[in-house]
Amino acid sequence: MHLDRIAIVGAGMAGLAAALSFSRLGMACDIFEEAHDLVEVGAGLQMSPNASAILHELGVLGDLESIWTEPREIGLVSATSLKKLAFVPLGEFARKRWNSPYGVLHRATLQRVLLAAVERNPLCTIRLGTPIRGNLPHSLRDLTGISYPLVIGADGVWSNARSSVPDAPQPDFSRNIAWRFTIPLSEAPGWLEPDCVTAFMGPSTHLVAYPLKETGAFNIVAIASGISPSATWEAQASESQRGMLIKQFSGWHPEIIALLSRSDRPTFWPLHEVTSGRWHNGRDVVLIGDAAHAMMPFSAQGAAMAIEDGFVLANEVKKAGSLPAALASFEHQRTSRASKVKARGSFNRFAYHARGPFRIGRDIVLSLRPPQSLAADLDWLYGYRVS
């Protein structure tokens, strides 16, 4: 099936990747974004082989490879002793095992590269400063005079597009707070390896650090769980809130505590998931990315799942005999995939945040696992390819 022109609401990674995926198949896309400027919040992200393979198909991987860092490994480290317990090899190993690279980069870099590809694509248009509310197909027709056969809601965890999908997922606070900051590579302590992704695992908390070549800094994300949802958080937390978070990391190695205490201009974000629900209305509106399945970052797959969504959706529309059939097939495939990724994230959360005897057992088990065995556990995730 070929659609002459579709509408995409939201110009984040999900929306931009979807536009490139549809235009690759000869279908024109109009993107509508509420913001007047595309400014990506946050700092870094990890781009695993399942996503980088799609970026190759979309023609943008080369632009990213010239900028990003390909880590040598993912190290799993005890936050109390700074002892490395295990690691998953990356770098050339990842390219050979999963046939695509694993990179780390600034979020703004990925958005800039995707946006540039969209802007030079004759089948794509983008309109900034254009919020879309209410019934999406009706609102877009009133705005543009076009009756779009398909409208894609790619507008994030606080999606307005959900109002056009009965029984759609709804945001749900995860009781986890992410604490993000960067430190210059030149000021990084020796226990932060400059060519690795390192996950420091502690009781009810964990911290992930990796280098960002574009900024010459380490991206650091510390996640504390069990925070009351009644607390009011803003991007720039108060000193009392910052102090409360530092207490969550009590028992960690003193050097990590010192790093957290002197972090410059950290930002704090409550992490939201979404509940289960329908992803489409059976006719002409479908949700992708965080609007459909916002998930915790414990498997570092949020951006990758959004990129997969757009690519799979475009392929299903192309293959299907009708749009309802395409939407049903897309939802079936992607809910299954997202559920499996969320389950892996829940497992990682349990492992990363283990306490007491569970923590001791975790450390013993990890120390006995060879790197290739840990990598094999990820074949279903990193080796995933869209048919």
Angstrom distance (rounded) from CA 67 to CA 29 = 28
Residue at 353 is within a domain: yes
Task: State which amino acid sits at residue 114.
Answer: L
Residue in this structure with the two tokens 């696992």, named with its chain if needed: 369
- Opening angle at CA 192, ends 76 and 348, nearest 5: 25
Residue-wise pLDDT tens digits, 158-169: 999 999 999 999
Residue-wise pLDDT tens digits, 216-239: 999 999 998 766 555 555 566 667
Angstrom distance (rounded) from CA 15 to CA 155 = 8
pLDDT at 307 over 80: yes
Mean pLDDT of 283-296: 96
DSSP alpha helix (H) spans, the chain: 13-24, 49-57, 61-65, 92-98, 107-119, 136-144, 239-248, 254-261, 290-293, 302-319, 323-352, 356-368, 371-376, 379-382
Confidence (pLDDT) at 290: 96
Mean pLDDT of 90-96: 98
pLDDT at 40 over 90: no
pLDDT at 362 over 80: yes
Mean pLDDT of 130-158: 96
Mean pLDDT of 206-220: 94
Q: Which of 98-107, 110-119, 256-265, 278-287 has the lowest mean pLDDT?
A: 256-265
Collapse the DSSP code of 120 into the 3-class scheme (helix H, G, I; strand E, B; otherwise coil) and give the result: coil
Residue at 296 is within a domain: yes
Angstrom distance (rounded) from CA 124 to CA 129 = 17
In the chain, the percentage of residues whose pLDDT exceeds 90 is: 75
Angstrom distance (rounded) from CA 387 to CA 373 = 26
Angstrom distance (rounded) from CA 370 to CA 183 = 31
The Cα diameter of the chain in Å comes to 64
Asked whether the beta carbons of 374 and 90 are under 8 A apart, the reply is no
Please, how many CA atoms are within 13 Å of residue 12, restricted to the half-sphere of its CB?
26
DSSP 139-196: HHHHHHS---S-EEE---TT-SGGGGSTT---EEEEEEEEEEEEEEGGG--TTS-TTE
Mean pLDDT of 74-101: 96
Asked whether the beta carbons of 148 and 284 are under 8 A apart, the reply is yes
Residue at 54 is within a domain: yes
Q: What is the DSSP letter of 72?
A: S
Confidence of residue 126 (pLDDT cuts 50, 70, 90): very high
Residue at 69 is within a domain: yes
Mean pLDDT of 82-109: 96
Confidence (pLDDT) at 175: 85
Asked whether the beta carbons of 47 and 68 are under 8 A apart, the reply is yes
**Around Cβ 107, how many Cβ atoms within 10 Å?**
18
- Opening angle at CA 220, ends 219 and 226, nearest 5: 150
Angstrom distance (rounded) from CA 348 to CA 300 = 10
Confidence (pLDDT) at 204: 84
Collapse the DSSP code of 85 into the 3-class scheme (helix H, G, I; strand E, B; otherwise coil) and give the result: strand
Between 267 and 127, whose confidence is greater? 127
Q: Which of 88-97, 107-116, 125-134, 256-265 has the lowest mean pLDDT?
A: 256-265
User: How many angstroms separate the first and last alpha carbons of the chain?
Assistant: 17
Residue at 49 is within a domain: yes
Residue at 204 is within a domain: no
Angstrom distance (rounded) from CA 346 to CA 298 = 7
Mean pLDDT of 207-220: 94
Confidence of residue 247 (pLDDT cuts 50, 70, 90): confident
Mean pLDDT of 336-365: 89
pLDDT at 311 over 80: yes
Asked whether the beta carbons of 324 and 281 are under 8 A apart, the reply is no
Residue at 238 is within a domain: no
Mean pLDDT in the chain?
A: 92
Asked whether the beta carbons of 295 and 272 are under 8 A apart, the reply is no
Confidence (pLDDT) at 92: 98
Model pTM score: 0.93
With b for 16 or more beta-carbon neighbours within 10 A and e for fewer, the 143-174 pattern comes to eeeeebbbbbbbbbbebbbbebbeebbebebb
Consecutive H or E run containing 12: none
Confidence (pLDDT) at 227: 65
Residue at 237 is within a domain: no
Which CATH number do you get for residue 58? 3.50.50.60
Angstrom distance (rounded) from CA 103 to CA 55 = 12
Domain total of the chain:
1
Angstrom distance (rounded) from CA 314 to CA 22 = 5
Confidence (pLDDT) at 73: 97
- Which residue range forms the structural domain that includes residue 307? 5-170+274-382
- Opening angle at CA 252, ends 297 and 219, nearest 5: 40
Residue-wise pLDDT tens digits, 259-286: 988 887 788 888 889 999 999 999 999 9
